[in-house]
Amino acid sequence: MKILKQQLAWLIPLGMLLAISAQAQLPVVLGDGEPMPSLAPMMERVTPAVVNIATFTNVEVRNPLFDDPFFRRFFDVPSMEQRYRRTRSAGSGVIVDAAKGYILTNDHVVSRADEITVTLADGRTLEATLVGADAQVDLAVLRIDPDELAEEAAPAAARFGDSASLRVGDFVVAIGNPFGLGQTVTSGIISAIGRSGLGVDGYEDFIQTDASINPGNSGGALVNLRGELVGINTAIIAPAGGNVGIGFAIPANMAQAIMAELIEHGEVRRGHLGLRIQGLNVELARAFGTDLREGVVVTGVDVDSPAAAAGLATGDVLLRLGERRLRNATDFRARAAVIMVGDSVEIEYMRDGERKIVRIDIPEDQFEKVAGERLHPLLNGTLLQNHRGGSEREVAAGVALLDVTEGSRAWRNGLRAGDIIVSANQRTSRNLSDLTQGIKLSQRNPVLRIWRDGQFYQVRLR
């Protein structure tokens, strides 16, 4: 589980919430033989779809003395000796397609794993392979052999619910594997929706809940009272060193869109609209002569972009992107997270007091563009985009530097526009998601391998 603000301490006793009926209230008196209100029937249907995930990673342990040639000669230590230790971590996942063996979980649960195993609710342990991952949204898809899954009574896959219909106050249940204790169920309500500003990497559009979420719950299910999957548990805030009832889940609608892209392509091919935006405020509304108090102002349109082709211009106030109403910049970024190459999306906007609607098509060559500082502070001043090789002299895949601001730290470190990053800290970077994970392997000074003018170079960010 991602822990925000401070590290979580050990489990603390939690008061049990009152049992709740479908109408969210208990009868005052129960007649003889009348069943007690309980979520047990729904849990019996849903919990088999939630699995425990164990990951194993071989971490290199190198003694600095081995780098000293005198020490190696004196003790006759081979110059290339390496030592490894095997680490284990735990998380949760949700079976979303039993027939094909697909499991949805968090990227941070499996991102560094050399081996992944899945333990089903009936106790069976199966090997899993990584289908694809998206660090920007913190989701990953695993696959287990569906034939092995069906050897005994196969668990039914979780059924997706509509996370866009959630309201603050709706009852929800979190299911996962906290602290490696085994499958655990906690309950609460939706505390907020569309939560952002948490300081995590990538896109933020979280469901906030007070259902107890702890380390090990990552990748587990957040379900409504019908047993529908409405979120994937991912993070908590723990300022006092224990669970304080502030947990976060990725909305199911976003998870479903990312999952489909990962299954089909093995990566997320986000489209690039070509819009630079800012949330509408009183000053901007006055400057653009509008009475609107909610929306997103277009502050720039990239040349030759899909937005430019559709006729959008600086000063337009965006009101809706696809089916999502745009109240602020967070709403825009959350919807943009699931706009893929090849999609066609409708935009409603205001210009000169008149509401207009336009449709934007995302062609195959318009991949997502990301400001480098979103991945690492030392990449501030860069603009990055997934790269697809177009000739035999180019690398097949990587992350292209579209722009590097002269005088920025990235510039001073030697990065230039046109460079293609092919690995970070010796981890292959086929796309932005891979680069994000590779950079995380180094706490301070990432080492990038770049392709420039037909040659490879090493660049350490300082």
Q: So which residues are the catalytic ones?
A: 108, 138, 218
Distance CA 448, CA 451 (A): 10
| Contact predicate 419/451, CB 8 Å | yes
Tell which phi-psi region holds residue 191, choosing left (phi > 0), alpha (psi between -120 and 50) or beta.
alpha
| Contact predicate 429/436, CB 8 Å | no
List the one residue out of 306, 298, 302, 299 whose CA is nearest residue 326: 298
Distance CA 169, CA 66 (A): 59
User: Token digits for 377?
Assistant: 């502070």
Distance CA 338, CA 255 (A): 9
Distance CA 151, CA 101 (A): 12
| Contact predicate 273/352, CB 8 Å | no
Coil vs helix vs strand at 135: coil
Query: Residue 8 corresponds to which amino acid?
Result: L
Tokens 């006729």, located at residue: 311
